[in-house]
Structure 1
Amino acid sequence: MVDGVTLTMGVAGSKLEKALGDHFPEGERYFGLENFGNTCYCNSVLQALYFCVPFREQLLEYYSNNKSQGEAEENLLTCLAELFSQINSQKKKTGVIAPKRFVQRLRKENDVFRGYMHQDAHEFLNFLLNQLVDILEKECPKATTENVLNGPGNGHVNGVKQEPAATWIHKNFQGILTNETRCLRCETVTARDETFLDLSLDIEQNSSITSCLKNFSSTETLNAEDKFFCDKCCSLQEAQKRMKIKKSPRILVIHLKRFKYMEQLNRHKKLSYRVVFPLELKLSTTLDAGDSAYSLFSVVVHVGTGPNHGHYVSLVKSHNHWLFFDDENAEMIDESAIQTFFGSAQEYSSNTDHGYILFYESLSGDNKSL
């Protein structure tokens, strides 16, 4: 054990190394993560983030800079940076690492993750990114005065009001939404910008990410009890409202709302709907010239029939190879296997492995690292 990180090889690791053979990329490492009692929600997201190359590179740079400055106070960011550094610096190409220090720190930071109950991977990702933002902003106060996105500074990060920021978390994951409301009496359009680190999309049976995004941006009429107060008319008026993506992020994270509260059941139910997610995605925005092109590089998959139990695994693309990570186990899979995680065309199906969080990287500029 090295600093709370157990290093083992295992049969799965040697099998993966044999499968990769001559195709093993120089300097790349593929390590499974040990489970500490229902921590698959954490492991699956960590694998997705590790294979998000821009994020990993900046985290390793942060680790290197911090190390040269001496001992930093332990927090979630330092624990994550240390974990990624230990994976990246392994002499062996494959194996298993125990992210013990990171999990201990996570449980210390948030009561929700303290026990050994099944947790939600999206909730964990949301918490982690916002915590990293908070830590970086405290370390670099100047970052909060810059506005890297050239947009208004009164936005929200997943519902939490934020000042303009330029941390490397924002540079990778943050985009801008525009909330437009048009008064149907005077035609005045009120627009409010807000930032996002991921997009949560409602889903329907036998649909696609493209149709989910269209529904997300569809026009809604506000009338009856939902009338809009128009500042120009100085009264409540019928209006049309829609949400548009104004500026797309470098890394587009899409969360599919697979868990829905059913009033008649008085509980949340998992929607096993078939939602096709393409390997290449075109995203229309109001600021970018034309469509933004994205490439899928990771999928966090929920396995099981309900929200309060089940399992999480992840699929990642690395140097044109797709890999399947299930806690300690890692294996190569064929690209065609991705479609088995789209969901079920029928309500009752033996297939319970469904895509839950999708990670896309922009193909514009120099972002073609995956």
Structure 2
Amino acid sequence: MYGHLGRIGSQALYFCVPFREQLLEYYSSHKIGADAEDNLLTCLADLFTQINSQKKKTGVIAPKRFVQRLKKQNELFRSYMHQDAHEFLNFLLNELVDILEKEDQAAKKEGETLSPSEKTVNGPKNPQANGVQKEPLVTWVHKNFQGILTNETRCLRCETVTARDEAFFDLSLDIEQNSSITSCLKIFSSTETLNAEDKFFCDKCCSLQEAQKRMKIKKPPHILVIHLKRFKYIEQLGRYKKLSYRVVFPLELKLSNTVEDADSEYSLFAVVVHVGSGPNHGHYVSLVKSHNHWLFFDDENVEMIDESAVQTFFGSAQEYSSNTDHGYILFYESLGANKS
């Protein structure tokens, strides 16, 4: 199962061009060889370099070294049970960050002077990151995927607004039947009233008060990863159920719920699709855009598809449908990043 998930995750990330270029640059600057000490970063860099340096126009590369390291690193990935692509992506990105930070700290201790391409860059300290991102280092993983959310709470008695920032690598969105990414993002940023048992402790009033709370995107990321929450725990059933809801994800997305209220424009370049009727079994496939063409990846099988075929993975308009292929993780690249 994890050889499969490793392929799907690698495919989506490989076609994330700025991430791929920086990973290939990391590989060449660190001169990683077959005898290098394995970690997830060196294994992924080696895999990307193998793909990038292939002279054949067609063929298959099995991510054996990467998958072996993944299983060694995390016991969740050692079984053949169906695992979650979103958990895999989160684990991988956070692990890459940890490795880069440890390398940076080790280099500083040894007094090494690294080239700009090898350095992680100092970024602003964020003491309000709520444990998500305490360190002042900003790696190239952060530069690609990290955005900042701000959680604003306004006391309805004294009108004082309390803001708390937190970093994110992806946005997990609740979904509704026959909706769209835009409407899901509006719900994500909608105002919620805190009252009764959920009152907010206002520091200015020094007491519990009714308040209004909302989440806004303070800093949009270069690569916006959106995770659709298709697996929901149903208390009556006592288990998780897959929501096959139809959720339209556009090829071009305007992110309008930002702090500056300025639209950020994004272009879709990859979709991880969950195939199957339930959360405990199924299969992952991916759609990626390369050189203005859409490709469909199903393990070692690759075919070119028409752009209009992307909409067949929006989901099912009816609760009971034979269609079980649903978009699960979406990758958007900022058009502003391309222009700059």
Amino acid at match of 2:268: L
1:231-242 mapped onto 2 (5 Å cutoff): 231-242=203-214
Amino acid at match of 1:338: V
Amino acid at match of 2:129: G
| Structure 1 residue corresponding to 2:17, chosen from 53, 66, 71 | 53
| Structure 2 residue corresponding to 1:116, chosen from 67, 73, 80 | 80
State the alpha-carbon separation in 2 of the partners of residues 269 and 68 from structure 1. 43
CA contact (8 A) 1:251 1:361 kept: yes
State the alpha-carbon separation in 2 of the partners of residues 79 and 42 from structure 1. 12
Segments of 5+ residues of structure 1 without an aligned counterpart are: 1-36
Q: Which residue of 1 aligns with 2:114?
A: none
CA contact (8 A) 2:255 2:265 kept: yes
**Matched residue of 2:312: which SS?**
helix
State the identity as a percent: 80
User: 1:290: how far off?
Assistant: 2.0
| Structure 1 residue corresponding to 2:236, chosen from 261, 264, 276 | 264
TM-score normalised by the chain length of structure 1? 0.85
Q: Which residue of 1 aligns with 2:188?
A: 216
Q: Which residue of 2 aligns with 1:246?
A: 218
State the alpha-carbon separation in 2 of the partners of residues 111 and 70 from structure 1. 24
CA contact (8 A) 1:144 1:163 kept: no
CA contact (8 A) 2:129 2:167 kept: yes
User: 1:40: how far off?
Assistant: 2.7
User: 1:93: how far off?
Assistant: 1.3
Number of residue equivalences: 328
Q: Which residue of 2 aligns with 1:152?
A: 126
Q: Which residue of 1 aligns with 2:94?
A: 130
Amino acid at match of 2:126: P
Q: Deviations over 1:282-341 (max 9, x none)?
A: 012545572010000000000001111000000000010000000111110000000000
Q: Which residue of 2 aligns with 1:20?
A: none
Segments of 5+ residues of structure 2 without an aligned counterpart are: 109-118
Kindly report the root-mean-square deviation, in angstroms, between the aligned alpha carbons of the 2 structures: 1.9
CA contact (8 A) 2:41 2:96 kept: yes
Higher relative contact order (CA 8 A, sep 6+): 1
Decide whether aligned partners of structure 1 residues 282 and 133 sit closer, same or farther in structure 2, where only a CA change above 3 A counts.
same
Superposition misfits of 4+ residues, deviation over 6 angstroms:
142-145
| Structure 2 residue corresponding to 1:313, chosen from 271, 285, 307 | 285
CA contact (8 A) 1:144 1:164 kept: no
Q: Which residue of 2 aligns with 1:345?
A: 317
TM-score normalised by the chain length of structure 2? 0.92
Amino acid at match of 2:334: S
Decide whether aligned partners of structure 1 residues 292 and 39 sit closer, same or farther in structure 2, where only a CA change above 3 A counts.
same
1:98-109 mapped onto 2 (5 Å cutoff): 98-109=62-73
Aligned: 1:96 with 2:60: yes
Q: Deviations over 1:249-288 (max 9, x none)?
A: 0000000000000011010000000000000000125455
